[in-house]
Structure 1
Amino acid sequence: MTVTRIVANLNAPNPAELAKFYMDVFGLDTPLDMGWIAFLASSATQKIELHAASEGGSGTELPVISIGVDDLDTTEAAVRTAGAQVIYGPAQEPWGLRRFFFRDPAGNLINVVDH
């Protein structure tokens, strides 16, 4: 058996509204919107990862997902412009990555990281 993908499902009272937020901030596409669920996608590929953790590191709350980006400062600006609250960082972590956390419009805690 081979795992072919792992998908994060964010709780959203209004999936289309939350999808628009992620489209605006991260430049994602919406290939499918069924009303009760909106799929967000990118043509980029990555390896499959699933993390198990008791906290978010550096004593922080555990985020529901982590989003890797190639320009943390530009992404932070986009998050703030979109009206989301950055609640941690940006921080250079002792284990070698730079990141920040924000709460999306539905209240989900998101980790944005630049390796």
Structure 2
Amino acid sequence: MRVVEILTNLTVPDVDQVRAFYADFLGLSQEEMNQGWVARFTQPQSRVSVQVVTRDKTAPVDSVATLKVDDVDAAHAEAQAAGIEIVHPLTTEEWGVRRFFVRAPDGNVFNIAQAHDG
């Protein structure tokens, strides 16, 4: 598995409620994505970003970070072979992402994802 990007997933009570802090105060002014329950704020010049999440739409738990990978199916097979706990199955989501969640030995949950082209 090759990780190509890591995004923090900060739990927030309401995306709209925190927008001014992340976009204005922290300068992450580009709202790359907002689905109501998850939004990504990015600094346009540096591409530094943070995701805020109220509650994952389809997974039974929330993740601390999203790790974008180059081949999510291979990553899933690798996790299974290693006996890593999978807490959300490999799923193609309606918003164009193929993903699964794993739990690290320390208890942290990670969203392993790849953009899906249909």
Cα deviations by residue, 1:10-61 (Å, 9 ceiling, x for unpaired): xxxxxxxxxxxxxxxxxxxxxxxxxxxxxxxxxxxx9322011111222532
Q: Residue 87 in 1 paired to residue 102 in 2?
A: no
Alignment-mate amino acid for residue 97 of structure 2: L
Alignment-mate amino acid for residue 80 of structure 1: Q
Cα deviations by residue, 1:60-81 (Å, 9 ceiling, x for unpaired): 3220011000111110111122
What is the aligned residue count? Answer: 73
**2:114: which partner in 1?**
114
Distance in 2, matches of 1:7 and 1:114, equals 13
**2:68: which partner in 1?**
68
Q: Which structure is higher in strand share? A: 2
Q: Report which stretch shifted further, 82-91 or 62-71.
A: 82-91
Unaligned runs of 5+ in 1: 1-5, 9-45
Distance in 2, matches of 1:112 and 1:7, equals 11
- Identity level (%): 29
**1:56: which partner in 2?**
56
Distance in 2, matches of 1:103 and 1:77, equals 15
Alignment-mate amino acid for residue 83 of structure 2: G
**1:47: which partner in 2?**
47
The TM-score, its normalising length taken from structure 2, stands at 0.54
